[in-house]
Structure 1
């Protein structure tokens, strides 16, 4: 699944969240789960894929990630709830 994506990870439902961007979502989430990625996600156990958006161009995905990182937490929570109200881990759905 090689396509530009913005994604949100969580430690648990309602827990710590992380917003990222990648060109290969499945591989990047695997890296987070193995502890190979960003120390923030490793430190707080943020490994559950709870939201993602796909884009045609990496430039658009990067801009969206930058915008979302500046949002208040309540906006991110509402966005997650619009697609995944149970904060279910979506990683297995990628295959």
Structure 2
């Protein structure tokens, strides 16, 4: 159990070929961090976890998590198409 959060800790092992680590030219720790960031980013985009929870797992604040998402190609703002179209209509009528 995690003493800080009270959460149960479970290790999940995912094996990657050594040549992938070599191809990325990342150190092992950086590679592990990138895998964690991409996994959390994907779960966040799917709505499976909150930004706050993802930030907690990465030991950063939400603003930093949003910045990391943006820097790594993830969408930070979650608009569905209907909401986006509704907000774009007033702008389109002004042109």
Q: TM-score, normalised by structure 2?
A: 0.28
Task: Answer with 1 or 2: which has the greater Rg.
Answer: 2
Higher RCO structure (Cα 8 Å, ≥6 apart) = 1
Q: Which structure shows the bigger proportion of residues in helix conformation?
A: 2
